[in-house]
Amino acid sequence: VAGERRYRAAIIAGLETVPVIVKKYNTEEMTEVALVENLQREGLDPIEEALAYQGLMDTYKQTQEMISARLGRSRS
């Protein structure tokens, strides 16, 4: 779910092995992890960020409070 940039950097650096942590996530958790990764990596514009949050609310019936608590982001 996360780590594509690290993986690509390892290939460029010629590393034969890359340490990873494998975790089991359900679909909802994978969506959240991917969103956090994208927010930290490239700073989505406000519209893209809002659409991602709306997707969590619509698909997984999350409230703004739930999203804010789980992602460590301000509700505003």
For residue 31, give both structure tokens: 């969506």
- DSSP assignment letter at 68: H
The answer to whether the predicted template modeling score (pTM) of the entire model surpasses 0.75 is: no
Q: Report how far Cα 48 is from the mean position of its chain's Cα atoms.
A: 13
pLDDT at position 62 is 87
Q: Is residue 27 part of a domain?
A: yes
Total structural domains within the chain? 1
Q: Is residue 19 part of a domain?
A: yes
Q: Is residue 76 part of a domain?
A: no
For residue 69, give both structure tokens: 């608590």
Catalytic residues: 4
Phi, psi of 15 (to 5 degrees): -70, 140
Please list the pLDDT of the chain residue by residue as tens digits (76 residues): 577 888 889 999 999 998 888 889 999 888 888 887 777 776 678 898 888 889 889 998 889 999 888 888 887 7
Q: Which domain holds residue 59?
A: 4-71
